[in-house]
Amino acid sequence: MDFEFIRDEENGLLNRRELDFVLTFEGATPSRRMILEKLCALQNVKERLVVLDSIKTSFGKQELTGYARIYEDEDSLKRVEPAHLVERTGAPEEEAEEAAEEA
């Protein structure tokens, strides 16, 4: 997987960075989890501070375009982002903790 960052802007009002990217890959389309892990490794940020908003593929191409937001802290993320986006992007550690709490 190769990332190319098209746009990287700072949004001071919402305490976040907004990224547009193009991801080229071979074989099957990577999962949201794989994209999130690679993005966080490249940007050197924690997974719980990143929200993958959209991922769009084109028929017949081995590339996708995406939009992500990287927050400075968890409070800013929870204040701004809709709950369903945070839940869909959620880190696996958080999911394991929630399952343990429910049991």
d(CA 92, CA 90): 6
Number of domains in the chain: 1
Range of the domain at 60: 2-102
- CA count, 13 A, side-chain hemisphere, 101: 6
pLDDT along the chain (103 residues), means of 10: 94 95 94 93 94 92 95 93 85 51 55
Per-residue model confidence (pLDDT) at position 96: 47
Per-residue model confidence (pLDDT) at position 88: 85
CATH of the domain at 36: 3.30.70.330
Say if pTM beats, i.e. exceeds, 0.85: no
Per-residue model confidence (pLDDT) at position 92: 56
Per-residue model confidence (pLDDT) at position 102: 57
